[in-house]
Amino acid sequence: MLEQIKLKNKIFFTLNKVFSRSIASANTGDFIYKKLTQFFAFLVFLLVLVMGYEMYVGSKLSIDKFGWNFLVNSTWDPVKEIFGALPAIYGTLISSFLALLISVPLGLGVAIFLSELSPNWLEKPLSFLTELLAGIPSVVYGLWGIFVLVPLLRNVVEPFLFKHFGNLPFFQGAPYGFGMMAAAIILSIMVLPIISSISRDVLKSVPNSQREAALALGATKWEVIKIVLANSRSGILGASMLGLGRAIGETMAVTMVIGNRALISPSLFDPAYTMASVLANEFTEASSDLYLSSLIELALILFAITIIINVAARIFVWSFEKRWSSVG
């Protein structure tokens, strides 16, 4: 009897499967729709590959000439046609990490206040204002940097740092205002809305039962927030990584305040250069083939770094999610 039922069930499921599949394949509209959307999805992937390939072809000349030296050479001399990307890579990474150093705690603070502490009537306008920061064009940030931030750094902040922390290698040299520090601060303001708004959404998505349970056990407000934060660690990390991605690719505002010199210096007062700035500055007037090819190679490196960071962010987030799902 049991055997029979099992067999019946098996037949039923197989039939059902075959039947439903035949319906799906019989409907050409569905089929075309599926294939079309599939095609679009793969198109994105293809686009990335084509872009990478095109940049590789464009930079062939420079890759053949300089090889791996391109990555470690720190001379960028268009006249003698010696190109090395190290200062630009250094400037890009350092300015972005410094920006994160400032904006992650700040953004997290904003997010915690908005999701956990702020009264209802204040939350809406405040989150609207932080998100508004994301909508400001970067050239406006650049101008603000030149006319407000840089004079402030030159006249107040940098002399102060030099006076009190001048023996550290980070705060040496003449305080011009323009330089790594200005770039990092501008960038931190630009990535702040990304980090704060995504973190806020993440914090809000933590179920209220968690908070209520903690409160019921006698936790203080601060302890509740700690629990919420621990629950949303992966999301916050993802938000920071997205911010990093934005900072690395930012061009205009950074170009306007960073001082644009291919220089590797530990001092935050010194000018620096980022890959995006080099491209924005020099691409239009690059006339020789090798020069152009080197610029394209620089774009390729920027492209690769962006992809690596995003992939790393994903892997981080996934591994955290796994841990949390096993705990929960």
Partner 1 sequence: MKIKLFLFAAAFFALLSTLTIAQVQLTGAGATFPYVIYSQWFDLYHQKTGVQINYQSIGSGAGIRQVIEGTVDFGASDGPMSDKQLKQAKEKRGTEILHIPTVMGAVVVSYNLPSVKEILKLDGKTLGDIFLGKIYMWNDKRIQELNPGVKLPDRAILVAHRSDGSGTSFIFTNYLSKVNDEWAKKVGFGTSVSWPVGLGGKGNEGVSGLVKQTGGAIGYVELAYAVQNKLPYLLLKNKDGNFVKADFNTVSAAAEGASKNMPDDLRAILTNAGGKNSYPISGFTWLLIYKDMKDKVKAKALVNFLRWALEKGEAYAKDLYYAPLPKSVVKLCEKKIDSITVNGQRIN
List the one residue from 151, 159, 207, 266 that touches partner 1 (CB under 8 A). Answer: 151
Report yes or no: 179 and 269 within 8 Å, Cβ to Cβ: yes
Query: Token pair for residue 175?
Result: 């305080």
Cβ proximity to partner 1, 78 vs 249, nearer residue: 78
Alpha-carbon span 262 to 247, nearest angstrom: 19
Binding mask 3-42 for partner 1 (x = CB under 8 A): ----------------------------------------
Tokens 């980070």 belong to: 170
- Of 110, 105, 188, whose CA–CA distance to 145 is shortest? 188
Cβ proximity to partner 1, 52 vs 78, nearer residue: 78
118: contact with partner 1 by CB under 8 A: no
List the one residue from 259, 265, 274, 294 that touches partner 1 (CB under 8 A). Answer: 259
- Of 243, 257, 288, 279, whose CA–CA distance to 85 is shortest? 279
Alpha-carbon span 116 to 113, nearest angstrom: 6
Alpha-carbon span 130 to 115, nearest angstrom: 13
Q: Identify which range of 43-51, 97-105, 216-224, 274-282 contacts partner 1 by CB under 8 A.
A: 274-282
141: contact with partner 1 by CB under 8 A: no
95: contact with partner 1 by CB under 8 A: no
List the one residue from 59, 95, 196, 255 that touches partner 1 (CB under 8 A). Answer: 255
262: contact with partner 1 by CB under 8 A: yes
87: contact with partner 1 by CB under 8 A: no
75: contact with partner 1 by CB under 8 A: yes
Minimum Å distance from CB 120 to partner 1? 44
Find the DSSP H helices in 207-264: 208-216, 221-231, 233-249, 252-257
Alpha-carbon span 21 to 35, nearest angstrom: 15
Give the alpha-carbon dihedral of 250, 251, 257, 262, to 10 degrees: 110
List the one residue from 52, 58, 78, 173 that touches partner 1 (CB under 8 A). Answer: 78
69: contact with partner 1 by CB under 8 A: no
Query: Token pair for residue 225?
Result: 């927030």
150: contact with partner 1 by CB under 8 A: yes
Query: Token pair for residue 230?
Result: 């621990």
Q: Identify residues 165-204 at the interface with partner 1 (CB under 8 A).
A: 174, 176-179
Minimum Å distance from CB 148 to partner 1? 11
Q: Identify which range of 115-123, 156-164, 260-268, 317-325 contacts partner 1 by CB under 8 A.
A: 260-268
Cβ proximity to partner 1, 77 vs 223, nearer residue: 77
Alpha-carbon span 309 to 323, nearest angstrom: 21
Alpha-carbon span 283 to 264, nearest angstrom: 22
**Which residues form the interface with partner 1 (CB under 8 A)?**
75-80, 146-147, 150-151, 154, 174, 176-179, 255-256, 259-262, 271, 277, 280-287, 292
